[in-house]
Structure 1
Amino acid sequence: MSASTNGSLALYLAGTSKHSWIAVGTGTEMQDSMMFIVYGDKTKHGATLSTRYSTGENEPKYMSNMNPESNAINESGFFTVDAHYQNSSSWMQHHIDMSSSKQPFIFALGPKLSHSNGGSPTATIQRHVVYGRFTMDMTKAVSDSAPSANGDNGTWIRSGASEAYGVSSDYDVGSAIHAVVMCLAFVIVFPLGALLLRFVSVRVHYMVQLAASILVIIGLGTGVYISTEYNRTKNYNTAHQIIGLIVFVGVAIQLILGTVHHVIFKRTRRATKLGKIHLYLGPAVLVLGIINAPLGTIVGQRSQYNIPYAVVVAVLAVLFFAARVYIWRSTKQNKTIEENVGSEGSDGEAQVPLHMLNSTTKLT
């Protein structure tokens, strides 16, 4: 980095392109940091420099008034950027102390992805996987002349910069938890609870569905947290977020309807309108929740998981419907047997349904 007293700044930045993006920012933390972020474009050897401002531990926002003359490339496994900012004294004075021999900087590396972020300077980026700090002696970077490369023949060499320190690995735990608990709830637990209603009892059905609802609440909480981290999700206007909120409301209504219906039915032994709504609303909410997962991977730039997800859902769907057919046939067969057993009664004697028989029950 090189700066002139008239407010011009020359920046050279290079780093591995094995990561989806690389970045350097001013200060000791992301709060109030001016960041220079580089990522690949849609071409094989191109790259994009995006100057952004960070307000905290979330995705920095693009500064449209910061348009440097730059040359960014992606060759031989490295991003390389040579940029010149004109009339930048106002933000330099706020973010960089040109008289400091140990001006603090931060750096970060994005996750390793198979696709590029696109060529737009406003392109969304994922949470970093590595970050750290270093310092630079800015007293050696300032001159009265126009800023330029500090090496021979217009090349840049490292000068006045410390070794990196405070280097740490990072992982987007919130996104992982959100994906796991939501998929677990809608692909496995909710369908399992529906089957247990036929196989076991209403009580077990209720407990399993309650457990699934708790998973959905956890998923909602992590989803809200994740939404604060990225510019594309802060306004809750993506299809995934909108459908997700609808699904959450549906789950809450289902839980209430099921509980109230069971209480009334237990007292009156009569079907209720709430029960009918519960019967049809459940599958609708379940299907909507299953469909919403691939929309989430698109928002999270993880669409490579959609095919494996679809395969798992398809296999479990086949098993689920096979179990339902088995239940239907078993119920029909038992009903036929009960009718046959009942028809053997005579002289007005009480007919005993098969499902009420036990080891102490005798047919006469």
Structure 2
Amino acid sequence: MMGFRRLRLGALLAFVPALISAQNATANVTAASTLFLEETETQFSVNVANNSDDVNIFFTSPAYSWVGVGFGEKMEDSLMLIMYPNAHGDNVTISPRIGSKQSEPSFSSSISIDILPGTTINDSMLILNARCRNCRNFLDPKSSAQPMIYAFGPGNRLVSDSPSANLKRHIAYGHFTMDMVTATGLGGVPAKSNAMYGVSIAGEMTRDHDRANHAHAIVGCLALFVLWPLNVIFAGFFKNIKVHVIVSVVMVGFLVVSYTLGGVVSGEYIRSKAFNTPHQILAFVSLFPLLLTAILPLPSLVRILPRLRTLHTPLVSATFLFLVLTGGLGLHLSNQARPIILAYTAISIAVFLFNTLLQSCIRRRGSAYARAHNRQRLEEEEGEDDKVVMLGTMAESRTDSVASLRTPAGYGGVPYGNGYGSAEFGAHGQEQQQQRSPSRTNGLYGGGTMPGPQYMLNMHPGVPVQVNRM
């Protein structure tokens, strides 16, 4: 009996260490609340240390352009942890930023984050183990529903060692709440998990679109690469100058819309808020030749300074060149992919060569409107010359007629109606020139081309003529 009791006591003593070890293991499990998005295999876990002011973080996600999580209900004034690959693409860059209203969050150097062992890029997955020294100022450790947000950058990859690298607008975002009471416990980095714990998703993931930026680029390209060459064609080959004016107004309207959208987009990013980037500076410079191109053909200015008309075509080419360079710098500013930049460059060169060749051809042969205008002007001048010649001839005819009436004419100085001769023939039958007038002067008829009655009497001296009946 005593042996049996000793055996049971020994077994119990052997079990106690195992029980204590299991209890210690359970106590050593790191408290955490975990967000897991199955669609992207993104995990974000938080541990609030109860023995320090530290907040421990485990963050993993596919290597998108960037991925971020924020402590707050909205971006404005919330702490955001942005993660993206480093410059070599073999490790992670973590960037603590403070969000602002509807714009890119700015890097905050006051937030201290320690990168812990285990941080790496493995199988195209960003893995971050980190400790934030002063993140508790942006969360409520006693809240069971701490508001949180998350966001994903676009597909083109961002690689940088700088925590203040330029970010492109997110393509998707969402909201959730996190139980910080559940996350509070012994400090430590949470473990990897694919289960949601202490987290409630607030709605579905929202797809985002950068419509203003896209519209800014598309409207500008339509003005440069579609309307601009069409306007050159209309100016050179259409006789109606109103078509060229209308297309010019439409094209300027497109550029105004593009400039306005560019101003809206500039306010969304840190790098462009001050309007001091090369893209923006050259855009403002391009306004000067564009304005001159629009006002130089005005008739009031041309009448004052006719030579201003010759500056129109060079200013058109200079404005196009400035605007194309502005667009290229805009693509660089927005971190567009290389194929897009190459395609833009090729189209710009092709359209510039087309415009240059077409303008050279128009300059050599003249525009259709100029040719038609000159032809009409010449016809009007010829018509005026014909009128002047006709009026001059009529005036000379009147002068000669008056002179003929004032000079007596007849046979040997004898007036008409003497019965001896005609005014057309002299004493020797020689032909004499006579100027006639259709008017009746001094009782004489037949001053014009038709002979008068006295002339008929002289032609037929044997025939009685009753002059009083005429």
TM-score (norm 2): 0.64
1:125 paired with 2:170, answer no
Amino acid at match of 2:334: G
Matched position secondary structure for 1:252: helix
Match of 1:16 in 2: 62
Q: Which whole-Å deviations, capped at 9, do the CAs of 1:57-87 have from their partners, x for residues lacking one?
A: 111010112131114422212111111022x
Shift of 1:178: 0.9
Distance 1:224 1:117, change over 3 A: farther
1:314 and 1:284 map into 2 onto residues whose CA distance is: 14
Alignment match, 2:132: 85
Q: Does 1:316 align with 2:355?
A: no
Q: Deviations over 1:273-325 (max 9, x none)?
A: 44344343222111110122111111000052121112222333343344345
Matched, 1:33 2:40: no
Deviation for aligned residue 1:92: 2.2
User: Quick one: which of 184, 189, 196 aligns to 2:227?
Assistant: 189
User: Are the aligned partners of 2:176 and 2:200 in contact in 1 as well (CA < 8 Å)?
Assistant: yes
Answer yes or no: is the 8 Å Cα contact 2:232–2:358 preserved in 1: no
Note the 1:259-270 alignment, pairs <5 A.
261-265=298-302
Aligned match of 2:179 = 137
Alignment gaps of 5+ in structure 2: 1-45, 379-383, 387-470
Q: Deviations over 1:116-147 (max 9, x none)?
A: 3311000011000010011111101123x4x2
- Note the C-alpha offset of 1:257: 3.0
Which of 146, 156, 166 is the matching residue for 1:103?
A: 146
Using the alignment, how far apart are the partners of 2:330 and 2:315 within structure 1? Answer: 22
1:238 has 2:277 as partner: yes
Give the corresponding residue for 1:294: 328
Does structure 1 conserve the Cα–Cα contact (< 8 Å) formed by 2:81 and 2:97?
yes
Paired residues in the alignment total 326
- Which of 190-199 and 178-187 deviates more? 190-199
Q: Distance in 1 between matches of 2:275 and 2:244?
A: 33
Give 3-state SS (helix, strand or coil) of 1:69's partner. strand
Contiguous gaps of at least 5 residues in structure 1:
343-347, 351-364
- Larger Rg, first or second structure (1 or 2): 2
- The structural deviation recorded for 1:212 is 1.0
For 1:1-364, list aligned pairs within 5 A. Answer: 1-5=46-50, 6-17=52-63, 19-71=64-116, 72-86=119-133, 88=134, 92-93=136-137, 95-113=138-156, 115-143=157-185, 145=186, 147-151=187-191, 155=192, 158-163=196-201, 165-200=203-238, 201-258=240-297, 261-265=298-302, 272-304=306-338, 305-328=340-363, 330-331=365-366
Residue type of the alignment partner of 1:63: S
Give the residue type in structure 1 aligned to 2:332.
I
Stretch deviating more after TM superposition (239-248 or 200-209): 200-209
Moved more, 236-245 or 163-172: 163-172
Give me the CA root mean square deviation.
2.8
1:12 and 1:156 in contact (8 A); partners too: no
Relative contact order, higher structure (CA 8 A, sep 6+): 1
Deviation for aligned residue 1:246: 1.5
Residue 43 of structure 1 aligns to which amino acid in structure 2? H
Contact 2:85–2:91 at 8 Å: present in 1 too? Answer: yes
Cα–Cα, structure 1 residues 176 and 215, in superposed 2: closer, same or farther, change >3 Å?
same
Identity of counterpart residues, as a percentage? 24
C-alpha contact 1:109 1:129 (8 A) present in aligned 2: yes
Change (3 A) 1:218 1:312: same
Distance 1:206 1:236 in 2: 32
